[in-house]
Amino acid sequence: MKRAFPQATKADVALLLEGTYPFVSGGVSSWVHHIIRSFPETHFAAVFIGSRREDYHEIKYELPENLVHLETHFIFDKKHHHSKKKMAGNPKGFEKIKELHEWFRAPGESALSQEIKSLPFYLDPVKGVHHGQFLHSLLSWEFISARFEQYCTDPSFVDYFWTVRNMHTPIWQLAEIAQHLIPAKVYHTISTGYAGFLGALLRHNTGRPLILSEHGIYTKERRIDLLQSHWIKDNRNAFQRDPTVISYYRELWIRFFEAIGRFCYDAAGTICSLFEEARQRQITDGASPEKTRVIPNGIALSRLKPLRGKRSVPPPPILCLLGRVVPIKDIKCFIRAMRTIVNILPEAEGWVVGPTDEQPEYYQDCRNLAENLGLADKVKFLGFQKITDILPNAGVLVLSSISEGLPLVILEGYATGLPVVSTDVGSCKQLVFGLGEEDEGIGSAGEIVGIGNPQALANACINLLGNADAWQTASNAAVTRVERYYTEEIMINQYREIYEGALAQWRE
Amino acid sequence: MIYKFYALAGLSLEIIAVRILYLSLGTAPKLAVFFIVHALASYLASVALWRELPGNFQSPRKQTIMFFTTFSCFIPVLGIIGIALSSLFCVHFYKENKEFDIHSITTPPYMSEARVYLSQFGEGGARARLVNAGSPKRQKMTALLAMEAVSGRSSNEVLRIAMQDNDDEVRLLAFGMLDSRENVLNSRIHELMRSLDDPKKEVAEIAEIHRNLAMLFWELVYQELARDSLVEYATEKALHHALKTAEILPDDSGNQVLIGRILMHRKEYNAARHAFWRAKDLGIPVSRVIPYLAEIAYLECDYGTVRDLLASDTSFFSIPVLAQVAAFWGDAS
């Protein structure tokens, strides 16, 4: 982290990245890296937004030359030194905040006011409510107290007060980032959330186009995380607690991310998703249908095509899971499935290929589970490896994830002729069975099973590995499908069209 | 311990002080030395006595000790006897007044204890909404959260149904809840398996580890957290550790019940029956083993034995879960 990042005074496209490239490897990061390299004539700036500095280590990619500017911001690291002197607060500003909250509650009924979209609202105490006013003004206190009285179902005002303060502080930090960011002709955010909110502020402040490309659906993933988080307080006593009603603070956090997501959807001119279901989800969450479009991922085939002939016949009994060792990949389901597979095919091995340092405690849990199930020598955690070394040695690609977009690893496996057994998440079904008559005619490139069902996962793997004809048919379908629908050219051409459209709009 | 030292030192100094009075010195220096030694003895004795007072008499510490010291110092011998007697009285006879005055106070600001929240639906309703594919998503999500408050086994099945739901979020939340339940058991299993490798463990400790491992593996099966071929694996491990416990503690009746239950699950009915009878012989109440024996008889279609077993102990009628079963088989005769 101590190395000097590239710095510039302006860029063509500013990528707004939350918790991903270049400090995290994986699908989204690879995609970002790929996009930057695919437009060598375009100068990119990257704004990395992370939680705390210690959560991110070294840069995982060799930065392309056309990435001319990189800056990092850690929103939970900053210490605020606002003077704690008494202040009344700007009544007009708080009136606007009230309007904003009403808009979040019923977005269809009124338009979002222009003042609240502007950057000076968050930075200038006369034009709006700056951070100091939010933290220390009398009006802020009255506003928070009134909303507690009106809406909060949790008995603790103290927890409510601090939750509201902590939750909203990043808003002002993002406004400061927006103020100091080098000028760019187009802003491109890879998620909603904090990066999306920053994009919306930049769009409103500069008038330049904002593009949103979502790989997963940020608000949905946040909601799942928040529903299961143990750090959120619930102070309801035995008489107040209704198990069917989630705690107020949990709901507050969920609504916060939904609200800033909506703010981003409102500002973005083009909203991209990877597959149709994700597009529908964006519309449900507040995106205007006419702004949305689907652009599936694509990969460069030239590097992987030569690997097809290197695999042994019959295919080796190696089940390969390519992905980060994190809960969302449900590595444990894969390990449990390996117990069944090894019972039937004792020579089988499970390889988990991907970084293990992102959530060390989960990695340890996985190792423990493998030991508990007597699979310590059958399930191998290989860490980060070159896919060109791994894929020719694998017999089946396995994806046990509980949530995905359009996984690049499936396309990469397909490019080498490797069939996949995947859980029914994201667009995996579409990748395995095809979408539309022509695509479906290619045949299935593997098997789809329900999430969290190790027995079904194991059976599907055994069926593929145990039947050479079925394996070959699936392998052929995999190659045909990736070559026809998921190439780099198809994806890049669509983004070229979007970038050119956005840049032309700015020129006008 | 230090207080005993204080008491002993106080007593010794007081004896020395009295001895000083009999020394052949001038009256003034004799009295001065006597007074210093006597004051010190009084202080040490007071600290020792203060320590023995009941908690509600010990505070304020400084003033109480000073009072005792003054009392002992200025009424030599009798003072210290008086304090010792009153301390004894306090320790043994004085009862703390536990009655509190009750006052009415106004509700402080921001306390909303008196608010009443109406529940959307109870546990049964939550289950029904999750099982019904047509329920709106929001209802399913809140119903799912309600399952968190329901004990493992009864809700795990519902969570599995929710994991097949069409909605991604419902599936993910159900998955997360099941996963965290399984994690709790698995991490404990791992911890115990590691401690089993420790060569310094005593035999009794090893038996305890085996017993806990057997119960944890069995819990995975019982709560239906292990499924399909993993059930077989977990059952096998549970039996292995229960038998290891029995090798070390052959007279452990609870372990015999566990062995019986595992064997029953494996459909090894004769061996299971043997384990249950052995548990009874080892002293476990007959009412704890008869339901299992009756269940085995039922599974073997030996209905006469089911009836006889359930009729053999009237205490079942006082156990809500078993009362209806016992009544049914009683009526059937």
In whole angstroms, give the CA distance from residue A403 to residue A427: 10
Average pLDDT over residues B83-105: 69
pLDDT at A2: 47
Q: What is the DSSP letter of A291?
A: G
Q: Confirm or reject contact between A451 and chain B (CB < 8 A).
A: yes
B170 versus A244: the higher-pLDDT residue is B170
Whether the pLDDT of residue A192 is over 80: the answer is yes
Whether the pLDDT of residue A290 is over 80: the answer is yes
Domain A301-486 has CATH 3.40.50.2000: yes
Rounded CA Rg of chain B: 35
Q: Confirm or reject contact between B176 and chain A (CB < 8 A).
A: yes
Q: From the CA of A78, how many Å to the nearest CA of chain B?
A: 30
Residue to test with chain A: of B121, B161, B172, B173, most A Cβ within 10 A: B172
Average pLDDT over residues A182-203: 95
Whether the pLDDT of residue A380 is over 70: the answer is yes
Interchain pair A224, B173: CB under 8 A: yes
Whether the pLDDT of residue A337 is over 50: the answer is yes
Residue to test with chain B: of A162, A244, A258, A340, most B Cβ within 10 A: A244
- Going from the C-alpha of A480 to that of each of A307, A391, B108, B175, B274, the distances in angstroms are 15, 18, 71, 34, 62
How confident is residue A392, by pLDDT bands cut at 50, 70 and 90? very high
pLDDT at B122: 58
Interchain pair A339, B230: CB under 8 A: yes
pLDDT at A353: 94
CATH class of A11-80+183-294: alpha beta
Whether the pLDDT of residue A348 is over 90: the answer is yes
Q: Confirm or reject contact between B119 and chain A (CB < 8 A).
A: yes
Contacts of B190 in chain A (CB under 8 A): 368-369, 371-372
pLDDT at A154: 85
Percent of chain A with pLDDT over 70: 96
Q: How many residue pairs from chains A and B have C-beta atoms closer than 8 A?
A: 115
Interchain pair A450, B112: CB under 8 A: no
- Lowest average pLDDT, out of A179-193, A389-403, B196-210, goes to B196-210
Segment of A233-242, A310-319, B120-129 carrying the highest mean pLDDT: A310-319
Query: How high is the ipTM of this complex?
Result: 0.70
pLDDT at B118: 47
Whether the pLDDT of residue A205 is over 80: the answer is yes
pLDDT at A181: 94
Question: Which residue spans of chain A are classified as CATH 3.40.50.2000?
Answer: 11-80+183-294, 301-486
pLDDT at A413: 95
Contacts of B224 in chain A (CB under 8 A): none
- Lowest average pLDDT, out of B80-84, B290-294, B305-309, goes to B80-84
Supply the mean pLDDT for chain B.
Answer: 82
pLDDT at B132: 81
A232 versus A263: the higher-pLDDT residue is A263
Q: CB of A422 within 8 A of CB of A445?
A: no
Whether the pLDDT of residue A1 is over 50: the answer is no
In whole angstroms, give the CA distance from residue B159 to residue B145: 10
Whether the pLDDT of residue B96 is over 80: the answer is no
Interchain pair B117, A245: CB under 8 A: yes
Whether the pLDDT of residue B13 is over 80: the answer is yes
- Lowest average pLDDT, out of A226-230, A301-305, B26-30, goes to A226-230
pLDDT at A430: 92
Q: What is the residue whose two structure tokens read 């490239």?
A: A21
How confident is residue B99, by pLDDT bands cut at 50, 70 and 90? low
pLDDT at B111: 53
Rounded CA Rg of chain A: 25
Interchain pair B169, A371: CB under 8 A: no
pLDDT at B95: 61
- Going from the C-alpha of B321 to that of each of A3, A79, A345, A430, B326, the distances in angstroms are 68, 59, 44, 49, 9
How confident is residue A110, by pLDDT bands cut at 50, 70 and 90? low
Whether the pLDDT of residue B88 is over 90: the answer is no
pTM value is: 0.72
Task: Describe the strand order of the beta sheet including A379-383 as a list of residue ranges.
Answer: A379-383, A349-353, A318-322, A396-399, A420-423, A446-449
Give the amino acid at A270: T
Q: Give B141-189 pLDDT, tens digit per residue.
A: 878 877 777 766 778 888 888 887 878 788 888 888 888 888 888 889 9
Q: What is the residue whose two structure tokens read 């904002």?
A: A210
How confident is residue A507, by pLDDT bands cut at 50, 70 and 90? low
pLDDT at B116: 47
Q: Confirm or reject contact between B22 and chain A (CB < 8 A).
A: no
Chain A residue closest to B183 (CA)?
A365
DSSP letter string, A180-217? HSPPEEEEEESSSHHHHHHHHHHHHHH---EEEE-SS-
Contacts of A141 in chain B (CB under 8 A): none
Chain A, window 359-388: residues with a beta carbon less than 8 angstroms from a chain B beta carbon: 365, 368-369, 371-374
Average pLDDT over residues A313-328: 90
Interchain pair B120, A244: CB under 8 A: yes
Residues 6+ apart with CB under 8 A from A112: A100, A103, A263, A266
Q: Confirm or reject contact between A161 and chain B (CB < 8 A).
A: no
Whether the pLDDT of residue A395 is over 60: the answer is yes
- Please name the helix (run of DSSP H) or strand (run of DSSP E) that holds residue A421, with its range, or none: strand A420-423
In whole angstroms, give the CA distance from residue A216 to residue A221: 8
Q: Confirm or reject contact between A327 and chain B (CB < 8 A).
A: yes
Chain B, window 179-238: residues with a beta carbon less than 8 angstroms from a chain A beta carbon: 179-180, 183, 186-187, 189-190, 193, 227-230, 233
Q: From the CA of B190, how many Å to the nearest CA of chain A?
A: 6
Whether the pLDDT of residue B119 is over 60: the answer is no
Contacts of A223 in chain B (CB under 8 A): 169
Contacts of A156 in chain B (CB under 8 A): 110
Supply the mean pLDDT for chain A.
Answer: 89
In whole angstroms, give the CA distance from residue B130 to residue B137: 9
